[in-house]
Amino acid sequence: MQRTVRLMSLVAALLALVPAAPVLAADVGFEEVDIPNGAEPPLTAGIWYPTTAPAAPRTLGNVTQTVAPDAPIVGQHLPLVVLSHGGAGWYGGHYDTALALARAGFVAAAVSHAGDTFDDQSRVLELWRRPAQLHRLVDYMLDAWRGHEQLDADRVGAFGFSNGGFTALVAAGGIPDLSTIAPFCEAHPDHDLCEALRHADVDVDFGAHVPAGAWVHDSRIKAVVIAAPSFGFAFGRAGLSGVRAPVQLWSAAEDRHQPHPWYDEPVRDDLPHAPTWHVVANAGHYDFLPPCDARLARMRPEICDSKPGFDRAAFHERFNAAVVQFFEAMLRRQ
């Protein structure tokens, strides 16, 4: 009898050393929330999470996703991934990645960055607002969301594309030097960034007037996935020295919006720890956005059209799987 008890105790001890298996959701729940934002209007965010409630196709902006709105949340100690969209985007801009994360047992929360969305470009150059808004999203999810007690505050990751990649880098500890934009545009006046600033009649020296203490970091973020980060040249080795979280970095080989080697490569080379680096052959900048349906492709060909021979849908299956796998490995429960 004593031998049996000892054997059972040994088995229990060994099982305790095995990382908890992720929750595999039968379906995905979804809700839209408003997040307090100080004296400004609330931030709008979308949240995807594991559920066992039956899902059905639902409209989300210009796309359709299969979700169960406002359904019960399934699981305990769930890892959280916050998502930051690109310039002129919105919280639903990476809904397919959010769905993939939720199906794998994560809670995925994405914020619309007020002042840099498709319907509000009023404060797009105030780049320091974005990491502060991401920080508010993490605060809300861990402290106020209806499912906050089911989250694991020690397992928080961040995903960002383009301006969102810049945002995630800052949130993870990066400090950019925006005063580098003016000399950069003097040397590269034909770049999209510099042409856009010129056409908007914006002084390229705007980055020299960043408010003191503007860059908000979030030490709760333990892993970062970044695709085609904007303003990569503005960090440098010193500016990225505070990024301690592991990074998965994605680059589109045919990115003409943020041409090589001034955006992705400086981030790759200057991070204190080498990132997991992926270069996507034949891909353009906007191929990191989900595939477009025929209606959206007619409305927004500039973000929907891919190079001949590039299968965006097939790529996103691989991309989302790799993103999920990275977060599963980096945010494994201890």
Cα 305-302-60 angle, rounded to 5 deg: 85
Q: Are residues 165 and 230 in contact, defined by beta-carbon separation less than 8 angstroms? A: yes
Binned at pLDDT 50, 70 and 90, residue 203 comes out as confident
Residue 231 has pLDDT above 70, yes or no: yes
Could you tell me where the DSSP H helices lie in 201-311? 236-239, 264-270, 294-299, 301-304
What domains, with CATH codes, occur in the chain? Answer: 22-176+216-330 (3.40.50.1820), 178-214 (no CATH)
d(CA 185, CA 282): 27
Of 160 and 334, the structure prediction assigns the larger pLDDT to 160
Name the residue with tokens 């359904």.
71
Write out pLDDT tens, residues 121-164: 999 999 999 999 999 999 999 999 999 999 999 999 999 999 99
Tokens of 83: 């998502």
d(CA 223, CA 246): 5
Mean pLDDT across the chain, nearest whole number?
92
Q: Within 13 Å and on the Cβ side, how many CA atoms surround 242?
A: 17
Q: Within 13 Å and on the Cβ side, how many CA atoms surround 263?
A: 28
Structure pTM?
A: 0.92
Residue 212: what pLDDT? 86
Residue ranges with strand state E in the chain: 27-37, 40-51, 56-60, 63-69, 78-84, 107-111, 151-161, 221-227, 247-252, 276-280
